[in-house]
Structure 1
């Protein structure tokens, strides 16, 4: 038998390149807002309260962990991995729902006062969270597009 060229297998589908980049950028911006939120709680909230309170520790830990998860899933989205883009989509949607619904359910905060705080833009923490919501929603839309519109071409 003569050794000839092997038939090329169809490449694995990848996430749409432009949408993946846009989703990744918005996710990194949302992660930066979460870091801002965590740092605000480290420096401003602890100074105002004279030490770490329970809610301040919760804000610091949740902000930092959420930022790490966003950066990791943004990295997989930049790499055009379809599961990474869906993970980014899911986490962005979860983050927005958690801020609007989770916090009022877990604390004595009412939904109305939570929304008023989020969009008051009066302190650094509310501004960071409002911008995180905007960037997360944009990242979720772009990530869903990136994962849905598959490409079979080059790796870019």
Structure 2
């Protein structure tokens, strides 16, 4: 006795959709090497954001526990940004193309936010912001400068990873 032939439209248990013998097309994935490099650089940028947030905790502790508005904003924004980068780095390590483009977008957003957004919000001249970022005199400016460097490099690697696609596994 032979089994029933597969019916078109509904796969039987253990079979892939389609006609018998047909292989489902593989989904393209991000380039493996560039994805790993982008993910590592994103994790380094996230570590710099954690450093920035912790520096603000120590600044508030030195000020007798007085939390100013800018200190609280730096703490919350640094922590949230670090978590978002870690999640996007995870999808980048998984070589998911939408995750890689998301990492690219967040990295570009963080660089633009530090260079343009913060001076606009706090009324700081752009020259003073750039001088603070790249003076490397305090821990917070060093952390932000390194975060910018790692974010730019991660964005470039993410764009390469998403642009140079590799075929996925054949199922």
1:102 equivalenced with 2:117 (yes/no):
yes
Q: Which runs of 5+ in 2 are unaligned?
A: 7-18
Q: Which runs of 5+ in 1 are unaligned?
A: none
For residues 36-62 of structure 1, what are the alpha-carbon distances to aligned partners after superposition, in whole Å with 9 as ceiling and x for unaligned?
Answer: 00000001x213433100000000000
Among residues 137, 143, 147, which one is paired with 2:158 in the alignment? 143
TM-score (norm 1): 0.93
Q: How many Å separate the matches in 1 of 2:45 and 2:169?
A: 29
Tell me how large the CA RMSD over aligned residues is.
1.7
- How far off its partner does 1:9 sit? 1.9
Q: How many Å separate the matches in 2 of 1:91 and 1:153?
A: 25
For residues 116-146 of structure 1, what are the alpha-carbon distances to aligned partners after superposition, in whole Å with 9 as ceiling and x for unaligned?
Answer: 0000000000000000000000000000111
Q: How many Å separate the matches in 2 of 1:121 and 1:61?
A: 22
Mean alpha-carbon deviation: is it higher for 70-79 or for 5-14?
A: 5-14
Alignment-derived partner of residue 92 in structure 2: 77
Among residues 27, 35, 53, which one is paired with 1:12 in the alignment? 27
Kindly name which structure, 1 or 2, has the bigger radius of gyration based on alpha carbons: 2
For residues 11-50 of structure 1, what are the alpha-carbon distances to aligned partners after superposition, in whole Å with 9 as ceiling and x for unaligned?
Answer: 101111000000000000000000000000001x213433
Q: How many Å separate the matches in 2 of 1:58 and 1:153?
A: 42
Alignment-derived partner of residue 62 in structure 1: 77
